[in-house]
Amino acid sequence: MTARLRSVLFAPATRPDVMRKLPCSGPDGVVIDLEDAVPPDAKSEARANGREVGPELTALADGPEVYVRVNAVTTDWFGSDISEGLFDGLAGVVVPKLEKAAHVDRVLGALIRAGRSELAICAGIETAAGVLGAAEVLSSGVALAYFGAEDFVTDMGGVRRADNIEVLHARSHVALTARVAGVPVMDMVVTDFGDDDRFRREAAEARAMGYAGKLCIHPAQVALANEAFVPTVEEIERARRIVAAYDEASAGGHAAIAVDGQMVDEPLARQARALIDGAQR
């Protein structure tokens, strides 16, 4: 994996034209989708499209990481997705709707049989059982994860809201369990692809909650994500003031000081250092 995945852009594997344009908007990662964006009777053709276009994407110098999203392990399509839908140069497979360790084991087994055990698994946590079992799934050998709000709310029998109150618990719990498992995690899609304000608002929340980036379903969302998941100039300047003052105080034997009217001690100084490090990546 790259050092960061601020933006991961999806394209339907039914659309070679869209797939070829995936890198244009500058995403950190791209996903060729064999699952939700492909109708049941087009799965086979979609795999062939992926195998044709995918290598063009992985061959790019300085291109994005390339992933394939397969269908869920409980579907009939999963086996063929792994055996016929992958290609060289992939960073990993995105596996939706994982709910327990046994599901991850099936992915690992299928990858081994296909001779692709080197591939990273990106776990989709997007069902009620998946959220409740997130700690188990994310500590079972996955390298990356995402929280899928649309599937989650459908599974809950609920309704999506602009304020996201109906997913705050699940979204927070997935971030928490991902952190404990040491797995970077991507935030939910914004389906209203013209609503930049919502995207920016959600991205700011997600970054605060510890998410590494956002899934994108439109090229215009990529720039928004790439901007949102790095510190602002103001944040960096403030962090530098904090670190400078803290280091000076530390040298003098103190570790709790006031900077800009805020008490700064070790955790605040660590936050500031982490922010500066993040900005320099």
Contact 187, 146 (CB under 8 A): yes
Stretch that binds a second copy, among 21-29, 83-91, 102-110, 246-254 (CB under 8 A): 246-254
Work out how close the CB of 193 gets to a second copy at its nearest, in angstroms, rounded to a whole number: 6
Contact 73, 109 (CB under 8 A): no
Should residue 264 be labelled a site residue for a second copy when binding is judged by CB under 8 A?
yes
- The one-letter amino acid code at 78 reads F
Among 8, 22, 35, 111, binds a second copy (CB under 8 A): 35
Should residue 100 be labelled a site residue for a second copy when binding is judged by CB under 8 A?
no
Contact 63, 23 (CB under 8 A): yes
Among 88, 105, 194, 227, binds a second copy (CB under 8 A): 194
- Residue 37 has a CB neighbour count (10 Å cut-off) of 19
Stretch that binds a second copy, among 1-9, 62-70, 72-80, 249-257 (CB under 8 A): 249-257
Should residue 267 be labelled a site residue for a second copy when binding is judged by CB under 8 A?
yes
Work out how close the CB of 182 gets to a second copy at its nearest, in angstroms, rounded to a whole number: 10
Should residue 225 be labelled a site residue for a second copy when binding is judged by CB under 8 A?
no
Closest CA to 161 of 185, 188, 183: 188
C-alpha of 199 from chain center = 15
Stretch that binds a second copy, among 9-17, 19-27, 61-69, 75-83 (CB under 8 A): 9-17
Q: How far apart are CA 23 and CA 258, in angstroms?
A: 45
Should residue 168 be labelled a site residue for a second copy when binding is judged by CB under 8 A?
yes
* Subset of residues 45 to 64 that bind a second copy, contact rule: CB under 8 A: 45
Structure tokens at 21: 């344009």
Closest CA to 116 of 145, 94, 140, 83: 83
Should residue 109 be labelled a site residue for a second copy when binding is judged by CB under 8 A?
no
- What mask, x for binding a second copy by CB under 8 A, covers residues 137 to 166? -----------x-xx-xxxxxxxxx---xx
Structure tokens at 91: 């960073």
Stretch that binds a second copy, among 22-30, 40-48, 55-63, 75-83 (CB under 8 A): 40-48
- Residue 179 has a CB neighbour count (10 Å cut-off) of 15
Which CB sits closer to a second copy, 24 or 255? 255
Structure tokens at 164: 């996201």
Closest CA to 110 of 60, 75, 135: 75
Should residue 248 be labelled a site residue for a second copy when binding is judged by CB under 8 A?
no
